[in-house]
A and B are shown apart, each in its own frame.
Chain A
Amino acid sequence: MERERHETPPAVLSLRDLTVSLPGGAGRFDIVRGVSLDLRRGEILGLVGESGSGKSLTLKAIMRLLPGAMQTRGSVIWKGQDVLAADAGTLRRLRGAEMSMIFQEPMTALNPVLSIGRQIDESLKAHTALDRRARHRRAVELLDLVGIPSAERRLRDYPFRFSGGMRQRAMIAIALACDPQLVLADEPTTALDVTIQDQILQLLLRLRDELGLSVIFVTHDLGVVSEICDRTAIMYAGEIVETGATRTVLSAPLHPYTQGLLRSMPGAASADGRLNAIPGQPPQPAARAPGCAFAPRCAMAGPACSVTDPVLGPVLGSVRAGHASACLRATDLIAEGGQP
């Protein structure tokens, strides 16, 4: 990714070799393995993978939300500053004011005993010098911004009076209260039904355009990815296996796992109407064999795949800028047309 061919704005957030490990039977084992990513201003990056692939852990590691037993290595550089090395005071100033997070479950991520207005107010109080009236004006403005009608009145309401979609909007309003530039979204639409899901995605797109937000969007839904993400990184077993512009990754994937994901979507069902699931299970982090983590499930795996650990890098012969794959046989995939 360092060898981008096009003029691109500099990254605001860079992950380098981010590794999260847990203590296990014999020493520690890694559940996120050497994740490197760059996020630019105004960019929405999709982080895609199945449950347990480490995508949410990566987000939480950026926010330093992981429990103490999980050890984090590598670096998370936000505007030239390493978040992983930041002290408690710096971290408090960063969180909420510069980077904030939207959670998957709007039902549980809001404090049930405080009104929405109080929750917005609290964030403004913690990070700005606004007086009470200015904070109130800002709160009304925020609810308007996220499309909650009759904002003035709704500020006094408690979360249980909001529907799922409205709660997610309220969550977004709280997250955006102090004008953060980075928003980490952890499956924010997974708990919502499809029409509401689309509204929230449109809202995020609009906010990105209006406020110049940089967003990392974690999801397992490739449909959502194709709708809002500029770039996409596919995770498998704690590693990024493919990354590139969303259109490139989804239309000409260069990793068998990405191809498998695309084939297993309901729209791509086989002739008899069954879903094309990827056979097998992801490896347990504690019991990883050497070589490519996907090799045991991969139809293309050759003898080298179970010996050599593939490295994420540009693929020889790929014409798409910034397209990288961690597959030893990526070049063969191009030869085969790279189509799912």
Chain B
Amino acid sequence: MSAVAAIARRRGRISLPLLIGAGIVLIWIVVGLFPGLFAPYDPDAFDYDALLQAPGLAHPFGTDSFGRDILSRVIWAARLDIQIAVFSTIFALGFGTVLGALCGFYGGWFDAIVSRVIDVVVIFPFLVLIIAIIAFLGPGLFNMYVALAAINWVSYCKLMRGEIRLQKQLDYAAAAQVLGYRDLRILFRHLVPNAMTPIVVFWMTDMALAVLLGSSLGYLGLGAQPPEAEWGVLIADGKNYIETAWWMSVWPGVAIITLGFGLSLLGDGLVVYFGKKERS
């Protein structure tokens, strides 16, 4: 009883991680939507009178080797990195969720085949597979989205499949069947909405990982291409100056960490809010 009551009491609670996480993510979304309002300079404007300036009053985050204002570049990069967070995950989420729901609901040979495909995909190290696909398709953001959609659906598929297998054994699923509803209606109107909680929570974590991955690939020159401002690209720009101009790499790094941290906190907070125990 106490465990049940504890979960019931926690359910619907706005916890501190949820507030902080949502706050951080919201700030970054606003910044990403309206970078012009926050950036003091044009992010691409060269200023040869202010090369590699240390952080100061005129340039709070300093300038890079072309005299571009780091703060402005970090702010404009937020737009791109939030886009990466969403686009790298949303297609995998859509496809994986639908496929996982069908597998969990129908089982049988269809499920068996999909499950084997998943097994094959997860055998490969994630990053190696992504890099291989991008290397094949050519570097760039669009190809990065394609590669992530092609690989990352397995996580959502596995999660949804397991959740639907659980949900379909509950009484309300039988009740829907007894009321004479069509299979697909039972699945997508009754079971899937009840199975979405872990998907949404995982999505938050996944977006945090996507930001890190997007930056890693940007750093490696496989994602966003310079001169486009992207946090990973900015860090890569600064790597040759790390001993003399640390601010070129550190500030975009801080930006990545805060957004990733915010998304993770948001995910944790949602777990509490939805009152579900975390599943691995």
Q: Is the CB of B190 closer than 8 A to any CB of chain A?
A: yes
Name the A residues within 8 Å of B181 (CB-CB).
92, 96, 122, 126
**CA A111 – CA B172 in complex, angstroms?**
6
Q: Is the CB of B170 closer than 8 A to any CB of chain A?
A: yes
- The answer to whether A103 and B194 have CB atoms under 8 Å apart is no
Chain A residue nearest to B172 in the complex (CB): A111
Most chain-A CB neighbours within 10 Å: which of B178, B182, B189?
A: B178
- The answer to whether B171 and A109 have CB atoms under 8 Å apart is yes
In chain A, residues 47-105, which have Cβ atoms closer than 8 Å to a Cβ of chain B? 63, 65, 91-97, 100-101, 103-105
Chain A nearest CB: distance from B197 CB in Å?
A: 10
Known: A103-B174, A103-B175, A108-B172. A95 touches B180 (CB 8 A): yes
- The answer to whether A100 and B174 have CB atoms under 8 Å apart is no
- The answer to whether B170 and A174 have CB atoms under 8 Å apart is no
Chain B residues with a Cβ closer than 8 Å to the other chain, count: 17
- The answer to whether B194 and A113 have CB atoms under 8 Å apart is yes
**CA A113 – CA B188 in complex, angstroms?**
12
Chain B nearest CB: distance from A148 CB in Å?
A: 18
Chain A residue nearest to B11 in the complex (CB): A160
- The answer to whether A65 and B176 have CB atoms under 8 Å apart is no
Q: Within the complex, which residue of A95, A111, A113, A171 is in contact with B177, where a contact is CB–CB below 8 Å?
A: A95
Chain B residue nearest to A171 in the complex (CB): B175
Q: Within the complex, which residue of B171, B180, B185 is in contact with A103, where a contact is CB–CB below 8 Å?
A: B171
- The answer to whether A113 and B193 have CB atoms under 8 Å apart is yes
Interface string of B10-43 (1 = CB under 8 A from A): 0000000000000000000000000000000000
**CA A100 – CA B175 in complex, angstroms?**
9
- The answer to whether B178 and A105 have CB atoms under 8 Å apart is no
Chain B nearest CB: distance from A172 CB in Å?
A: 12
How many of chain A's residues touch chain B, expressed as a range? 20 to 34
Q: Is the CB of A110 closer than 8 A to any CB of chain B?
A: yes
Name the A residues within 8 Å of B177 (CB-CB).
65, 95
Q: Is the CB of A123 closer than 8 A to any CB of chain B?
A: yes
Q: Is the CB of A127 closer than 8 A to any CB of chain B?
A: yes
Q: Is the CB of B179 closer than 8 A to any CB of chain A?
A: yes
- The answer to whether B170 and A92 have CB atoms under 8 Å apart is no
Known: A103-B171, A105-B171. A111 touches B180 (CB 8 A): no
Name the B residues within 8 Å of A171 (CB-CB).
175
Known: A111-B194, A112-B194, A113-B194. A97 touches B180 (CB 8 A): yes
Name the B residues within 8 Å of A92 (CB-CB).
180-182
**CA A113 – CA B193 in complex, angstroms?**
7
- The answer to whether A65 and B174 have CB atoms under 8 Å apart is yes
Name the B residues within 8 Å of A65 (CB-CB).
174, 177-178
- The answer to whether A109 and B172 have CB atoms under 8 Å apart is yes
In chain B, residues 185-203, which have Cβ atoms closer than 8 Å to a Cβ of chain A? 185, 189-190, 193-194
Name the B residues within 8 Å of A127 (CB-CB).
180
Interface string of B145-180 (1 = CB under 8 A from A): 000000000000000000000000011101111111
**CA A127 – CA B181 in complex, angstroms?**
9
Known: A113-B193, A113-B194. A108 touches B178 (CB 8 A): no
- The answer to whether A93 and B180 have CB atoms under 8 Å apart is yes
Interface string of A310-334 (1 = CB under 8 A from B): 0000000000000000000000000
Known: A65-B174, A103-B174, A110-B172. A126 touches B179 (CB 8 A): yes
- The answer to whether A101 and B178 have CB atoms under 8 Å apart is yes
**CA A97 – CA B174 in complex, angstroms?**
15
In chain A, residues 152-187, which have Cβ atoms closer than 8 Å to a Cβ of chain B? 171, 174-175
Chain A nearest CB: distance from B270 CB in Å?
A: 16
Chain A residue nearest to B176 in the complex (CB): A111
**CA A94 – CA B179 in complex, angstroms?**
9
Chain B residue nearest to A103 in the complex (CB): B171
Name the A residues within 8 Å of B171 (CB-CB).
103-105, 108-109
Name the B residues within 8 Å of A108 (CB-CB).
170-172
In chain A, residues 187-230, which have Cβ atoms closer than 8 Å to a Cβ of chain B? none
Name the B residues within 8 Å of A114 (CB-CB).
189-190, 193
**CA A63 – CA B176 in complex, angstroms?**
12
- The answer to whether B193 and A96 have CB atoms under 8 Å apart is no
Chain A nearest CB: distance from B57 CB in Å?
A: 54
**CA A121 – CA B175 in complex, angstroms?**
15
Name the A residues within 8 Å of B189 (CB-CB).
114, 122
Name the A residues within 8 Å of B176 (CB-CB).
111
Name the A residues within 8 Å of B175 (CB-CB).
101, 103, 109-111, 171, 174
Q: Within the complex, which residue of A96, A110, A111, A112 is in contact with B178, where a contact is CB–CB below 8 Å?
A: A96
Chain B residue nearest to A105 in the complex (CB): B171
- The answer to whether A111 and B190 have CB atoms under 8 Å apart is yes
- The answer to whether A123 and B172 have CB atoms under 8 Å apart is no
**CA A174 – CA B177 in complex, angstroms?**
13
Name the A residues within 8 Å of B193 (CB-CB).
113-114
Residue numbers of B with Cβ under 8 A of A are 170-172, 174-182, 185, 189-190, 193-194
Counting from the closest, the 7 A-B pairs by CB-CB distance are: A96-B180, A95-B180, A109-B171, A96-B179, A101-B178, A108-B171, A92-B180
Sampled A-B contacts (23; CB under 8 Å): A63-B178, A92-B182, A93-B180, A95-B179, A95-B180, A96-B178, A97-B180, A101-B175, A103-B171, A108-B172, A109-B171, A109-B172, A111-B175, A114-B189, A114-B190, A122-B179, A122-B189, A126-B179, A126-B180, A127-B180, A174-B175, A175-B178, A175-B179
Residue numbers of A with Cβ under 8 A of B are 63, 65, 91-97, 100-101, 103-105, 108-114, 122-123, 126-127, 171, 174-175
Other than A96-B180, A171-B175, give 11 A-B pairs with Cβ distance below 8 A: A63-B178, A91-B180, A92-B182, A97-B180, A103-B171, A104-B171, A112-B194, A122-B179, A174-B179, A175-B178, A175-B179
